[in-house]
Amino acid sequence: MEYNNIKVKGYDFKILLTEFQIKDQVTRLAEEINEYYEGRELTIIIVLKGAYIFAADLCRLLNVSHEVHFVKFTSYDGFTAKATIKCDVPLETDVENKNILIIEDIIDTGNTMAYFLETLKVDKPASLDICSFLLKPDALKHKLPLRFIGSEIDNGFVIGYGMDFNEEFRALKHIYQKI
């Protein structure tokens, strides 16, 4: 089967991961999470908006008992990370003594996640781990508890499967990277 590159807002994007590769990675991550948290209750925190599609696919495959909560931060404008991080939707649950798994679509610099982790650690969760579908290791500036990673990619800008370009193109079924 052939997959095509696309043009978005005048920029060229190439296929990075097909919908079938994405499905395989989600299945693998769910198996790893089920094994790791077996016999324990899990509190999942989904980082909106980008992680919503990944998180929905992943949570449907989890066999471990879990509850789901949401947070939302603003840290990007177009292709560029903003200097300040703003919490648009705060966490509305107590994390003390809970096994916390944060689900994120992509981690690049890690600035937003480092900020969020500092706020969570104050409340003393029993465990605190991250599941990110994509990771840009060359951009990462912080030591983070990255327990479950779908794929490591280079620093190129990506869209699709929940990831956007100025709030558009989240619903693309493949992940594309700016050429």
How is the chain split into domains, by residue range? Answer: 28-168
Q: Does residue 2 carry a pLDDT above 80?
A: no
Q: Cα angle at 28 between 23 and 30, to 5 degrees?
A: 95
Mean pLDDT of 136-141: 97
Smallest Cα–Cα separation from 149: which of 112, 111, 101, 116? Answer: 101
Express each pLDDT in 32-80 by its tens digit. 999 999 999 999 999 999 999 999 999 999 999 999 999 999 875 656 6
What pLDDT sits at residue 79? 63
CA torsion 94→132→159→155, rounded to 10°? 120
Measured distance CA(145)–CA(102) in Å, rounded: 10
Confidence (pLDDT) at 84: 81
Query: What is the pTM (predicted TM-score) of this model?
Result: 0.93
Q: Omega into 98 within 30° of 0, i.e. cis?
A: no
In tens, the pLDDT along 91-123 reads: 999 999 999 999 999 999 999 999 999 999 999
Q: What is the mean pLDDT of residues 19-37?
A: 98
Report the distance separating Cα 21 and Cα 38, nearest Å.
26
Query: Of the residues 12, 88, 105, 108, which is catalytic?
Result: 108
Q: Measuring CA to CA, which residue among 8, 49, 29, 28 is closest to residue 177?
A: 8
Catalytic annotation on 88? no
What is the DSSP code (8-state) at residue 119? H
Tell me the pLDDT tens digit for each residue of 78-89.
Answer: 566 666 888 999
The CATH number of the structural domain formed by 28-168 is: 3.40.50.2020
User: H or E stretch including 30?
Assistant: helix 19-36
